[in-house]
Structure 1
Amino acid sequence: MKFSDLNQLENDVVIETDLCIVGSGPAGLSIAKEFANTNIQVWIIESGGLKEDADTQTLYAIESIGVPRVMQQEILRYRIWGGTSHIWTGRCAPFDEIDFQHRDWVPYSGWPISRHELNPYLERASYNLGLGPNCYDERLWKQFGVQRPRLTLDPTLLKSAFWQFSKHPNTPNEPTRFGRGFLPPIADNIHVLLHANVTHINTNSVGKQVQSIEVSTLHHKRAQIKAKAFVLCCGGIENARLLLASNRYIPNGVGNHYDRVGRFLMDHAGCVLGTFNPRRSAAVQNLFGHYWLDDAQKRHVYLHGVALSPALQAKEQLLNCAAYLEVFPALNEPWQAIMRLTKSIKQTGLSRSLYPDTLAVASQLPDIAHGLYRRKVKHRPPITKADRIELWCLTEQPPDPDSRVTLSDQKDALGMPLSKLNWKISNQERRSVQRLSHLIVQEFQRLGLPQPDLADWLNADDNWQSHFIERAHPTGTTRMSAIPQDGVVDANCQVHGVEGLFIAGSSIFPTAGHANPTLMIVAMAIRLADRLKSHHFNSPLVEVGDWATAEKSGVG
Structure 2
Amino acid sequence: MISDYRSDPFSEIEVDLCIIGAGPAGITIARRFLGGSVTVCVLESGGTGAETTSQMLCEGSSIGQASFNAANCRMRAFGGSTNVWGGGCIPLSNLDLEARHWVPHSGWPLSYEQLQPFYSRARSLLKIDGHDFGEGSFHTPPARKPPSFDEDKLINRNFVLSPVYFAETYGDDLKRAPNIQVFLHVNALELESCPDARSVRQVRVSSLHGQRGIVRAKQYVLAGGGIENARLLLLSDSVATAGLGNDHDLVGRYFMDHPSGTLGTLTTGAPESVTRAYNRKGGKGIAPAFPELCLSEPAQRENRLLSGRVRPIAVEGPVPRGLAALRGLRKALRKPTRDDSMALEGKIHTGTGMAGSDEPQPARTIGSLALDIGVGLGDIARAMLRKKAGKPAVETERVDVVGFFEQAPNPDSRITLGREVDALGQRKVCIDWRLTSLDWHTYRTAAAVFGSELARACNGHFQLQPWLASGRDESPQIQGTAHHIGTTRMAEHPRQGVVDLNSRVHGMSNLYVAGSSVFPTGGWAFPTFTLVSMSLRLADHLVLLL
TM-score for the superposition, normalised by structure 2: 0.86
Counterpart amino acid of residue 402 in structure 2: W
3-state DSSP of counterpart to 2:505: coil
- Report deviation, 1:364: 4.4
Counterpart amino acid of residue 536 in structure 1: L
Percent identity between the two aligned chains:
31
After superposition, the Cα gap between the structure-2 partners of 1:213 and 1:353, relative to the gap in structure 1 and judged at 3 Å, is same
After superposition, the Cα gap between the structure-2 partners of 1:15 and 1:346, relative to the gap in structure 1 and judged at 3 Å, is closer
C-alpha contact (below 8 Å) 2:256/2:433 kept by paired residues: yes
Consecutive unaligned residues in structure 1, runs of 5 or more: 168-175, 375-380, 538-556
- Report deviation, 1:366: 5.5
Match for residue 15 of structure 2 among 5, 8, 17: 17
C-alpha contact (below 8 Å) 2:204/2:212 kept by paired residues: yes
Match for residue 275 of structure 2 among 255, 260, 285: 285
Structure 2 CA distance, aligned partners of 1:10 and 1:488?
Answer: 33
Match for residue 243 of structure 2 among 253, 272, 278: 253
Residue 198 (structure 1) aligned with residue 202 (structure 2): no
Consecutive unaligned residues in structure 2, runs of 5 or more: 336-363
Residue 326 (structure 1) aligned with residue 313 (structure 2): yes
Match for residue 157 of structure 2 among 155, 158, 161: 161
Structure 1 CA distance, aligned partners of 2:408 and 2:385?
Answer: 48
Residue 305 (structure 1) aligned with residue 292 (structure 2): yes
Partner of 2:384: 368
Structure 2 CA distance, aligned partners of 1:35 and 1:233?
Answer: 16
Match for residue 421 of structure 2 among 383, 403, 411: 411
Q: How does 1:3-152 map to 2 (within 5 A)?
A: 3-9=2-8, 13-70=11-68, 72-131=69-128, 133-135=131-133, 143-144=141-142, 151-152=147-148
- Report deviation, 1:62: 1.1
C-alpha contact (below 8 Å) 2:83/2:165 kept by paired residues: yes
3-state DSSP of counterpart to 2:475: helix
- Report deviation, 1:47: 0.7
C-alpha contact (below 8 Å) 2:46/2:185 kept by paired residues: yes
- Report deviation, 1:367: 4.6
Structure 2 CA distance, aligned partners of 1:456 and 1:166?
Answer: 36
Match for residue 403 of structure 2 among 374, 393, 398: 393
Structure 1 CA distance, aligned partners of 2:393 and 2:127?
Answer: 25
3-state DSSP of counterpart to 1:258: coil
Q: Deviations over 1:99-146 (max 9, x none)?
A: 110011111111011112222222332333333514379997873487
3-state DSSP of counterpart to 2:122: helix
Q: Deviations over 1:473-496 (max 9, x none)?
A: 121010000111110111111111
After superposition, the Cα gap between the structure-2 partners of 1:500 and 1:335, relative to the gap in structure 1 and judged at 3 Å, is farther
Counterpart amino acid of residue 70 in structure 2: Q
TM-score for the superposition, normalised by structure 1: 0.84
- Report deviation, 1:266: 1.1
Match for residue 458 of structure 1 among 455, 459, 468: 468
Structure 1 CA distance, aligned partners of 2:83 and 2:29?
Answer: 18
Structure 2 CA distance, aligned partners of 1:478 and 1:456?
Answer: 35
C-alpha contact (below 8 Å) 2:268/2:458 kept by paired residues: no
Q: Deviations over 1:262-293 (max 9, x none)?
A: 11111111111112348641211234434765
Match for residue 490 of structure 1 among 485, 500, 509: 500
After superposition, the Cα gap between the structure-2 partners of 1:59 and 1:140, relative to the gap in structure 1 and judged at 3 Å, is closer
After superposition, the Cα gap between the structure-2 partners of 1:510 and 1:345, relative to the gap in structure 1 and judged at 3 Å, is closer
After superposition, the Cα gap between the structure-2 partners of 1:373 and 1:463, relative to the gap in structure 1 and judged at 3 Å, is same
- Report deviation, 1:201: 0.3
- Report deviation, 1:386: 4.4
Match for residue 476 of structure 1 among 476, 486, 489: 486
Structure 1 CA distance, aligned partners of 2:421 and 2:137?
Answer: 52
C-alpha contact (below 8 Å) 1:16/1:225 kept by paired residues: yes
Counterpart amino acid of residue 240 in structure 2: I
C-alpha contact (below 8 Å) 1:334/1:385 kept by paired residues: no
Structure 1 CA distance, aligned partners of 2:494 and 2:59?
Answer: 30
Partner of 1:172: none
Match for residue 518 of structure 1 among 522, 528, 537: 528
C-alpha contact (below 8 Å) 1:200/1:242 kept by paired residues: yes
Residue 179 (structure 1) aligned with residue 164 (structure 2): no
C-alpha contact (below 8 Å) 1:270/1:395 kept by paired residues: yes
Query: More displaced, 468-477 or 84-93?
Result: 84-93
Q: How many residues align?
A: 514
Partner of 2:545: 536
3-state DSSP of counterpart to 2:539: helix
C-alpha contact (below 8 Å) 2:270/2:458 kept by paired residues: no
- Report deviation, 1:320: 0.9
Structure 2 CA distance, aligned partners of 1:56 and 1:42?
Answer: 23
